[in-house]
Structure 1
Amino acid sequence: MAVELVVGGWFASSIVSNLITSLISYVKEDQSKRQLGLKAELRRLEKALPKIQTVMNAVDSGHIKEENPELASWLWQFRDAVEEAEDFIDEMDYYQLEEEIKGKKSKVSHAASRLKTIFQRAVRKDTTLERLKNIIKGLYEVAADVGHFVHLVDKLNHKQPSNTSNRDTSSLLPVEHKVVGRDDEKNNIINKLLSFSSASVRRNFSILPIVGVGGIGKTTLAQFVYNDERIEKHFSKRIWVCVSNNFDVLSLTKKIYESLKLHQNHTIDNLDLLQREILESLKSKKVLLVLDDVWNDDDRESWGKLLAPFSSVEGGSMVLLTTRMEKITKMMTGTMEPIFLRGLSEENYWDFFKNCAFGDEDPKNYNKLQDIGKKIVKKLKGSPLAAKTVGGILRNNLDDEHWEDILNSEIWELEQSQNDIVPALRLSYQHLSSHLKPCFRFCSIFPQDYQFDKEKIIYMWMALGLVRKPTKGNRRPEDIGHEYFDDLVKKSFFDCKSAGECYVMHDLLHDLAGLVSQGECFRIDECSGPKSIPTSIRHLSICNYVALPIPEIIKLKNLRTLLINSDSSEDDILKVLKGLKSLCILVVRNFNIIDDCISSLIHLRYLANHDISHVPKSVNKLYHLQFLYYQESFYRHFSDLPVDSIENLINLRILSTPNTRCGKTSGIGRLTSLQILEKFIVAMNENNFLELKNLRELRELVIESLEKVSRVEDICEANLKEKEHIQELTLDWTEEYDECSRSPEVDEQVL
């Protein structure tokens, strides 16, 4: 396994530093001499952090390209040790919440005394002190080995990072290269380039982006357009520059300078001199500038500098750029609506694949190979580069057995050059910011063509601690999670469907997520069948798979996510849950005996249980829980939400149940972190609006059965005017309610 797959944005020295600080605070509670050694180990661990960060940075950025089993093993050991320490701290936080909920917080006023009380209680409860000692020693022992790998990184410091592409492109189409199935897109782009009028913008040129995932054919389409006779006649100057992901204004300006053949002197490094000569050369000329393979989506100032010499061009000039990053389309004013490039149609793709796989041979002479080829094509998801990659491997051996071997292989397993499909897609991943990598990898546990609910996937990232905490202002973790998701959309990792409510991931990018999450994420479905589950797995989903591999699952001691969407028996699910203590996310269905084991899952942040009849009382002990989803069974009615099943969930942010019926003593008023309350039902003959009074963080609120309000003073108790964060408020009167009993005057005052 490539070592970058082990880390991939997981490590942050600040997190481990805070972890060490927390561990030190617990060690201080034991004043015996035996703890002096633990404190010393923690201090040495602090000193080793810079070296650990150096190794992690090198791995995460792709500096260490080749596989290194020894380093991969050490990375997993260190990750295991850190996560075990995180679980310990989280457990101590759980006990503190338990003390506060039980009202004991007021009895212990001093923070240190409270910490000591909680720690001592935990020690009495089980072997917590012994665990703490083992955790600290485990961390130190793993960290002590980092020096060996620092030397490995030092040797690579002089090398160029592997996520800087060496790819270069030309304006010329390769010899004998046939463009298939892009005539409509070509003509659309040419029409836009020829019909642009500078009168509609404040400058003489506009920018037309071609956006699409890696390997979809953006460069080929741009070459197709660039060499069209209509383009040659319309523009007096055409310039082609391959940008790649090294967006350096000086070097790109030099490429433009050289393309214009102004001088043969390659030693000019004065940006001002270069740009003034370019400006003079382009004055009053209609220019087409193609910027191919652009990655820079966050440096508006550099864009302005690069395009400065084009202020003198004739009106109607154009910049055509190709990119994977939709965000780039927002970087410069005057940018036209982008052309989003999709995969080839089924018919065109088959024609293109035959050209790649059979070359000069006539496919009609190979009927069986055509049958195999059509099956292979279905796996390539319409990507031209994937067809070229696999076709190039196939055409070397037009043998039935060879083609069958390729059919039964994953595209990621095939030997490929730097410009083939896997390196092209992996570059997209390597170019992601470190905080986005684990979010993208996590998505691999969902099946292909899965329709992602934006809000729920963000909530899952939050539950796993993948979303950083806000540092200032009124920003919430949800707001930061939205930024993460929107960045992935802008970088073409997700496609938006149905007006922003549903998103899908391109099939090849989903495959990429599976590749880069090996050892961390695992999915079992009806297509994959039984598989051996690596013990390093953190996130597991089981879809449409009847028999749970119980012995393998209960070995996953570091499992954080478990999604079970199958017809497994309640007894099997119970056996699995009893062996998993580190879960943060649990999604199950048709599981009504969850009472017996749920309270032991003290790290749980996200719980969804579908096709059930009630919320079990044991959920009330999940003090860390932030997101709770329950859905009633089609065959049975969901009972009312009882007070003793949610009132202690003081960290709950989302409550979604079929019947959130809240009476005077429902306890929902204690859930002061709630962001969304989907159904608050007004009670008859009792004022339950007091429950809403302290829910000041609400963003969405639905109040039903308002016809039951007899006094307008009652609804005033809800303090709706003080809920400054409310974005959606729904007030509902039930139509079936007896009209004779309604008071129009009260209804009007309520509004």
Structure 2
Amino acid sequence: MEAAISAIASEIFSRILSLLSKKYRDHTAMDEKLKRLQQLLLRIHAVVDEADGRYITNPTMLIQLKLLVESMYRGYHMVDIFKYKSLWEKIRHEEGVLQNLEAAIANMTEFVVLLGGCDPCRRPYDTYLYTDNFMFGRHVEKQHIINILLQDRGRHGAPMVLPVIGGCRVGKKTLVSHVCKNDRIQSHFSLILFINGDSIWRIMDHEKFRNGRTLVVIEFFTDVDDDDWVKFYSNVTRLAAEGSKVIIISRIQNLARFGTVKAVFLNSLSREEYSYLFKMLAFGSIDENNHPRLASIANELAVVLGGSLITANVIADLLRRKYDAQFWLRILQRFKVMVDNNLLMYGEHPKDILENERPIDITSFISSYHSALRLMPPRIEKDESSERKLAHIAFGDLITGCIAVPNDRFVLVTWESRIPPYTKLVADVECAEETHECSTSTRKRRSSVRFPQGN
């Protein structure tokens, strides 16, 4: 009997040693793969940064740059999985990522050589969701738009028309605004004119077009009748100098029909790119490797936020106030509850609801409030006396609960730009009884010639 027990114990001990040895080998292999992955990412990121500081006119190089950027953000997402997820999830997600990055590196040599022949460009003082005063992402789209605007060819002297089409708040206006501040674009056009689609008949001033080549940037919130467009385009053709261009900005895909060149379509950031951006904003100059718990919470928040660029900016700014796990967890939990409530009530994520110009429920942010609260879609604040009479509350103060909430309608300051023109995005907040009519009708958009940095 003792011999049997000894044999069983020996077998159990042997299996434990084998399991521990396998775990050690797995852990060592993971560490080696993580180091390899980080080394590859450093090489790719250096090339992407260098490419972003060059003028790339070769279409094939732009395609290769797009593939490099996609591989880079997938790689960063893989690093997060290695660091903050369970072993099973690491094994499930790791297949193919290293191979893809190594393939990208192997095909990068010729790209780097060709990149050396591209002229360097000076980065303008601009920001895309302020990341140290340079535009985040949209590397290929930016280069493509610049290349089109610098082309001399036209259709019998008529201005070239480039539509830039994309969903709500994906970065259309910010991208175009950034391009317009480019040094080559600034020197190529004598005048860059930003107008609203509702004002196209009021800008036909002969004096404005006498200074030389003009770039007209026009934003449409609704579709345009073909006859109205022909009239507008004919006037621009008649008044503008040779080589003038027109950029159309809109969410409406049908407006791409007015383009004389292929439209640029902007989609939302990929999950990997959005997660990278959110953590970059949340940690700022702090090394996330020194705060693994916070980094894990930030990854969860990026998923909960659903890809909203404005919300990423707002919440990241809030998180930077206090690098404390309990504080970050409280923010995460509040957003989880808010998202779940809206999914239950409307069957959609709050981001999608706001993009469709409908209010969302934010009652869970203030548990003690006497009635339901509805947040209307954000808008650019205009200096109107009637609007100024309403109480203004910062979004961060609402989330943290450090300010008393009015008992009636108030204005929530969702985001303020840190650079000129210091655009302020606000949203009306009303109790449920007051917003029933608003929730069943489409809010009329307010127009502005200024471009908010989060759109």
* TM-score (norm. length: structure 1): 0.28
Q: Which has the higher contact order (CA 8 A, sep 6+)?
A: 2
Give the structure with the higher percent helix.
Answer: 2
TM-score (normalizing by structure 2)? 0.43
Q: Which has the larger radius of gyration?
A: 1
